[in-house]
Amino acid sequence: MSDSAFSANPYRSPDAGLFLEREEFDPARHGLLRVRRLTQFADMTRRYRIDVDGQPRGVIRQRRSVEIPLEPGTHELIMRLDWFSSPAVDFHVRAGEMYTFDCWANIRGWRIWLSGFFAFYYLVRRSEYLGAGFVNAEPAVVAEA
């Protein structure tokens, strides 16, 4: 099979090529966004995409955290998984501070075994399948080289 057959795969995820270079963090000019993903059975093998101000800024797997430098000002955080998303969360960033958010799937516990509950999210509440919530703000700690 030729190499072109692999590069033209119509079933490849649109997020598969999303590899972002590590951005430089300067505490005098940037704030830091930390997103932590909670451990859950739902979507355990899937990656959530982190969108800040409508732009993809990274992906996160279960039991991981991602840190993203941001310019000071007001930003919007949305978590995405295929056609599902979380409600938008607006937050204000100040230079030198780290803002921690947790993300999760809203299908938890006994609901995961009810197929009708999945259909509810598929058809009606696609923008509430995932959740994201503010945890805290603290001074950003930078490791010295």
pLDDT band of 107, cuts 50, 70, 90 = confident
Number of domains the chain contains: 1
Instruction: Flag whether 12 is in a domain.
Output: no
CATH number at residue 74: 2.60.40
Q: Does any domain span residue 143?
A: no
Residue 42 belongs to some domain of the structure: yes
34-68 per-position pLDDT tens digit: 999 988 887 888 899 999 999 999 999 998 999 99
pLDDT > 70? residue 115: no
CA dist., res. 33 & res. 90, Å (int) = 12
CB 92 within 8 A of CB 73: yes
pTM over 0.85: no
What's the Rg (C-alpha) of the chain?
Answer: 17
